[in-house]
Amino acid sequence: MRSYEKEKKEIEKSLPKAQSLIHYTMDFWTSPNHLALFGIVVHFVDSNGCLNRALLVLREIEGVHSGENLCRTFVAVLEEYEIQYKTGFIMMDNVSNNDTFMDHLESAQLDIGYRFNAGEQRLR
């Protein structure tokens, strides 16, 4: 846990200062012991111009895997790391709740005045 906390602090410092937008690789799944999990990996160019990637969160999701619920969790992570104005591309698979996730994310980003296009910024 000490190692995790140390790495988290470093990521918390570096992400808001990133020179690039922050790009995400994400997946949602249910573990064999029935935990609903959400994993997010970030990809970005740091303030020194170096390309970085890091596991941002591996979080249990409360409730259903609906796109709206997943988006609510994702937005909370963006706010936690203070990176809600740096959203770049998002790589996800083709399940239907990811389509809904992207639609809700576009609305949530527009609500804070950040232009995000679900159709253009999703990679598969």
Domain boundaries of the chain, sorted by first residue: 2-116
Query: How many Cα neighbours within 13 Å face the side chain of 19?
Result: 8
The amino acid at 11: I
Instruction: Specify the pLDDT at position 5.
Output: 87
Q: H or E stretch including 39?
A: strand 36-45
Instruction: Specify the pLDDT at position 14.
Output: 94
20: left (phi over 0), alpha (psi -120 to 50) or beta: beta
Q: What is the CATH number of domain 2-116?
A: 3.30.420
Q: How many residues does the chain have?
A: 124
- Return per-residue pLDDT of the chain as tens, 124 residues: 888 889 889 999 999 999 999 999 999 888 899 888 999 999 999 999 999 999 999 999 887 778 899 999 999 999 999 999 999 999 999 888 899 999 999 999 999 999 999 999 999 8
Q: Round to whole Å and give the CA distance between 110 and 4.
A: 33
